[in-house]
């Protein structure tokens, strides 16, 4: 095992027939187990409840992925207790051994790569390529954070003080909650879990109710990899009951949360409110939504801009926090841009992702209805030039949709829709475009297509986002290269996949020791 180097995982090439065969085989394997019941896992033991919920395939809602118990506050209590017990020994495992275990877990992700891809295609409706990129991201998280742990384990050098030996060391926080969204059921969950556990913390994991099967698979990998019982405990159940109870729990030290702004705001409040018996301030790591803009100026390569914006707006049906949902285009290239992007988008095919479509269904009925509601609003607020329709077949399919001539203050230009809907806004000049781009409550990703060095350097300083992308799409963050986290209501800027991320899960101790000479 080589812990000295970090290398990002390569993607699978699905133009190779043998890789397609492997994926088809994985589809057969995971589908053969569909419909079964799987439990919660607390302290390494199965925990069942009579009350159950199902997970379905959004591209074919009649296909039931599996059944799962609806957890209760008592289950959260048991999970916190198990995590507390495990913390007592896990925190004493040397950082190098925790790091080595993370690398071992990365290898197990490689072993199950095709099955994980198949499950993601079927449970949350990712395209093959998006699903593969996400498994690769899970692997990268483990590999990267393992090396980060070794770096932090060395502590930091302090300014020498006469007659003393001074040290600055990092220690884990304790038991934490990880509450994650469905749109990156591996990438985001593993991002938070890997950092929490490599640092020596233990976790109560409450995944989104839309991806229980994938979360179950993660637990299987942890167990097979030898992660001791109680280090990660899986609790299912509704966010508003189990999630809230967990975030308010007096015995947890931190909440790692990724999800919507509305729930993130609530978590900030829960965590800030002291519960009886709680004698510490909870840390929160909150990574939330966005209303991301890409600016296209007159010097841009329009072909590249159109392709990048389409990929960023319609990849995974626009269900990425980083997705582009506003194109802000300078007036002298506006008409040409609109005609190019609408023509191309109208040709995009939508269909079941299992059959290797790039654009599939959105996550569930609630998401489908919400997006269609915004499309109706969009018809009042702008001019529809692409999509706006559903498919006449089973599944939550919505065609990639574009509204043009949208006012910068329109609801479709301000609110996160989380679906394949792009608003195009006209700007007078580059300063106007930058002002429009910055004019939302969010600040997650942003992009600029331009050859003008003044514009690019101005964007670097004044585009108020955590992740800025120049002359490329604004989605697809590589672990180690594009640390991820936003400004404003997009979150606490925790920078997942970057050199400061592990600090969120550590506390430091200063030790001053007098030495007699």
Supply 15's token pair: 């133009």
Is residue 287 among the annotated active site residues?
yes
Question: Applying CB under 6 A, which of residues 76, 105, 213, 321 lies at the interface with ligand NAP?
Answer: 321
* Closer residue to ligand NAP in complex, CB, 249/354: 249
Residues 157-196 that bind ligand NAP (CB under 6 A): 179-184, 188
Give the nearest distance from C-beta 182 to Mg ion in angstroms: 7
Per CB under 6 A, the segment of 91-99, 125-133, 282-290, 296-304 that binds ligand NAP is 282-290
**Is 327:370 a contact under the CB 8 Å cutoff?**
no
**Smaller CB separation from Mg ion, 115 or 210:** 210
Tokens of 348: 């995009």
The listed partner (ligand NAP, Mg ion, none) that binds 344, CB under 5 to 8 Å by sort, is none
Instruction: Using CB positions, name the residue nearest to ligand NAP.
Output: 239
Q: Does 209 bind ligand NAP (CB under 6 A)?
A: yes
Distances (CA, A) of 436 to 76, 339, 382: 44, 22, 16
From the list Mg ion, ligand NAP, none, partner contacted by residue 337 (C-beta under 5 to 8 A by kind): none
Q: How far is the CB of 244 from ligand NAP (least distance, A)?
A: 4
Coil, strand, or helix at residue 426? Answer: strand
Helix or strand run (H / E) with residue 169: strand 164-172
What is the nearest approach in angstroms of ligand NAP to the Cβ of residue 111? 26
Please tell me the count of residues contacting ligand NAP according to CB under 6 A. Answer: 36
Q: How many residues lie near Mg ion (CB under 5 A)?
A: 3
DSSP of 217-276? HHHHHHHHTTPPTTSEEE--S-IIIIIHHHHH-TT--EEEEES-HHHHHHHHHHHHSPPT
Q: Which of 123, 143, 287, 416 is catalytic?
A: 287
Q: DSSP letter at 39?
A: -
DSSP for 334-369, please give it. Answer: HHHHHHHHHHHHHT--B--GGGT-SB-B-S-HHHHH
Strands 383-386 and 175-179: unpaired
Site string for Mg ion, 295-334 (x = CB under 5 A): ----------------------------------------
CB 161, CB 496: distance < 8 Å:
no
Of 15-74, binders to ligand NAP (CB under 6 A) are: none
Other CB atoms closer than 10 Å to residue 490's CB: what's the count? 29
Q: Is 194 an interacting residue with respect to Mg ion (CB under 5 A)?
A: no
Q: Which residues neighbour 298 within 8 Å (Cβ) at sequence distance 6 or greater?
A: 330, 332, 333
Among 91, 220, 251, 266, binds ligand NAP (CB under 6 A): 266
Please give the structure tokens belonging to residue 405: 């001539």
Positions in 16-55 near Mg ion (CB under 5 A): 55
When the beta carbons of 207 and 378 are compared against Mg ion, the nearer one is 207
Residue 216 touches Mg ion, criterion: CB under 5 A:
no
- Contact characters 465-494, ligand NAP, x per CB under 6 A: -------------------x-x---xx---
CB-based contact 132:117 (threshold 8 Å): yes
Window 214-253: residues binding ligand NAP (CB under 6 A): 238-240, 243-244, 247
128 binds, among ligand NAP, Mg ion, none (CB under 5 to 8 A by kind): none
321 is catalytic: yes
Query: Could you say which of 321, 359, 408, 416 is catalytic?
Result: 321
Q: Quick one: DSSP state of residue 330?
A: E
Question: Please, are residues 150 and 506 in contact by the beta-carbon 8 Å criterion?
Answer: no
Residues contacting 132, CB < 8 A, separation 6+: 11, 12, 14, 113, 117
Least distance in angstroms from the C-beta of 207 to Mg ion: 12
At its nearest, how many Å lie between Mg ion and the CB of residue 176? Answer: 26
Cα separation, 271 vs 290, whole angstroms: 22
**N- to C-terminal Cα separation, the chain:** 42
* Distance in Å, CB of 145 to ligand NAP, minimum: 16
Residue 55 binding partner per list ligand NAP, Mg ion, none, with a CB distance cut-off of 5 to 8 Å that depends on partner kind: Mg ion
CB contact at 8 A, 493 and 333: no
Give the nearer residue to ligand NAP in terms of CB position, either 289 or 308.
289
Shortest separation between residue 298's beta carbon and ligand NAP, angstroms: 31
Site for ligand NAP in 424-463 (CB under 6 A): 444
Q: Which stretch binds Mg ion (CB under 5 A): 5-13, 15-23, 192-200, 204-212?
A: 204-212
**Mode of pairing for the β-strands spanning 45-47 and 60-69:** unpaired
The residues, any chain, with a CB within 8 Å of residue 484's CB and separated by 6 or more, are: 287, 322, 466, 467, 477, 495, 496, 497, 498
Query: Among Mg ion, ligand NAP, none, what does residue 181 contact (CB within 5–8 Å per kind)?
Result: ligand NAP
Torsion of the alpha carbons at 254, 501, 313 and 471, rounded to the nearest 10: 160
Residue 483 contacts which entry, ligand NAP, Mg ion, none (Cβ below 5-8 A, type-dependent): none
- The correct pick among 79, 136, 214, 288 for binding ligand NAP (CB under 6 A) is 288
Phi, psi of 40 (to 5 degrees): -80, 160
81, containing H or E segment: helix 73-90
72 binds, among ligand NAP, Mg ion, none (CB under 5 to 8 A by kind): none
Q: Closer to Mg ion at the Cβ: 395 or 446?
A: 395
List the structure tokens of 134. Answer: 């996400």
List contacts with Mg ion (CB under 5 A).
Answer: 55-56, 210
List contacts with ligand NAP (CB under 6 A).
Answer: 179-184, 188, 206-210, 238-240, 243-244, 247, 258-260, 263, 266-267, 287-290, 321, 416, 418, 444, 484, 486, 490-491
Active site residue ranges: 287, 321
């Amino acid at each position: 095992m080589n812990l000295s180097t970090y290398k990002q995982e390569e993607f699978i090439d699905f133009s190779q027939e043998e890789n397609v065969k492997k994926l088809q085989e994985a589809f057969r394997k995971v589908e053969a187990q569909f419909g079964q019941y799987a439990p919660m896992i607390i302290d390494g033991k199965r925990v069942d409840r009579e009350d159950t919920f199902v997970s379905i395939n959004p591209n074919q809602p009649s296909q039931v992925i599996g059944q799962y118990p609806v957890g209760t506050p008592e289950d959260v209590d048991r999970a916190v207790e198990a995590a507390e017990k495990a913390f007592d020994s896990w925190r004493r495992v040397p950082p190098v051994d925790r790091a080595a275990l993370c690398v071992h877990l990365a290898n197990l992700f490689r072993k199950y790569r095709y099955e994980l891809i198949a499950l993601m295609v079927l449970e949350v409706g990712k395209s093959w390529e998006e699903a593969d990129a996400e498994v690769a991201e899970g692997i990268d998280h483990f590999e990267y954070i393992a090396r980060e742990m070794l770096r932090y384990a060395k502590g930091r050098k302090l300014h020498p003080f006469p007659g003393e030996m001074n040290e600055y060391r990092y220690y884990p926080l304790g038991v934490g909650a990880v509450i994650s969204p469905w749109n990156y059921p591996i990438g985001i969950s593993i991002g938070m879990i890997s950092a929490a556990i490599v640092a020596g913390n233990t976790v109560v994991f409450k995944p989104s109710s839309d991806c229980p099967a994938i979360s179950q698979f993660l637990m299987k990998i942890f167990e097979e990899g030898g992660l001791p019982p109680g280090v990660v405990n899986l609790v299912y159940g509704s966010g508003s009951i189990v999630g809230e109870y967990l975030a308010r729990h007096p015995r947890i030290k931190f909440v790692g949360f990724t999800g919507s702004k509305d729930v993130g705001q609530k978590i900030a409040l829960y965590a800030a409110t002291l519960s009886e018996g709680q004698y510490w301030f909870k840390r929160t790591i909150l990574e939330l939504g966005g209303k991301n803009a890409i600016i296209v100026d007159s010097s841009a390569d329009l072909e590249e801009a159109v392709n990048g914006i389409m990929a960023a707006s319609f990849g995974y049906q626009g269900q990425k926090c980083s997705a582009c949902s506003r194109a802000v285009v300078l007036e002298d290239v506006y008409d040409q841009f609109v005609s190019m992007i609408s023509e191309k988008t109208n040709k995009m095919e939508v269909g079941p992702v299992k059959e290797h479509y790039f654009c599939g269904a959105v996550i569930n009925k609630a998401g489908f209805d919400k997006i269609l509601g915004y499309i109706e609003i969009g018809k009042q607020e702008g001019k529809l030039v692409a999509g706006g329709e559903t498919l006449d077949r089973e599944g939550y399919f919505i065609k990639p949709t574009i509204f043009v001539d949208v006012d910068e203050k329109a609801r479709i230009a301000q609110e996160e829709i989380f679906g394949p809907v792009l608003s195009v806004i006209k700007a007078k000049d580059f300063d106007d475009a930058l002002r429009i781009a910055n004019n939302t409550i969010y600040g997650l990703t942003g992009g600029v297509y331009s050859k003008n060095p003044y514009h690019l350097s101005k964007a670097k300083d004044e585009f108020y986002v955590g992740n800025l992308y120049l002359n490329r799409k604004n989605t697809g963050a590589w672990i180690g290269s594009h640390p991820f986290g936003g400004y404003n209501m997009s979150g606490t800027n925790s920078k997942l996949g970057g050199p400061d991320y592990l600090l969120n899960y550590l506390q430091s101790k200063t030790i001053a020791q007098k030495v007699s000479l």
